Amino acid sequence: MKIAFPIDSFNEKEALKTKLARHFGPANFYLITDDNGNFLEKIKNTSTHHGGNKLPPDLLKEYNINIMICNDLGMKALERFDNLNIEVFLSQEMTIEKSFQLWKKNKLSKALSKNVCHGNH
């Protein structure tokens, strides 16, 4: 199982202490862990938000991501993740480490239409 976290900056020596980006789509990178919380890789966001031709969920699907944990995302992104069978969970924690720990304890809310951003995304 692979879990993605949106990030804007990265320090490989302290990968899990990295802060989550405020919004998943325009994040500069996605940090990937396994379901034990081990750092696997960092993916550069080459989606439409950064001049590419793919939506962020489609980019992550290419890396076989099963779960996205983020602070916030829009309804269109949630619908695309649902279509790709990628589960999305919302975390109000600042770091990947804390967010992962809450996910592991089943204490994160699953992203639903009622708890995502309904702005212009």
- Sorted by where each starts, the structural domains of the chain and their CATH numbers stand as 2-115 (3.30.420.130)
Model confidence over 70-80: pLDDT tens digits? 998 888 888 99
Does 110 have pLDDT greater than 70?
yes
pLDDT at 65: 98
Q: What is the pLDDT of residue 121?
A: 45
DSSP the chain: -EEEEEES---GGGGGGPBPPSSSTT-SEEEEEETT--EEEEEE--SGGGT-SS-HHHHHHHTT--EEEES--BHHHHHHHHHTT-EEEE---SBHHHHHHHHHTT-SEEP-GGGSB-S--
How do residues 23-62 score in pLDDT, each as one tens digit? Answer: 888 899 999 999 999 999 999 999 887 677 889 999 999 9
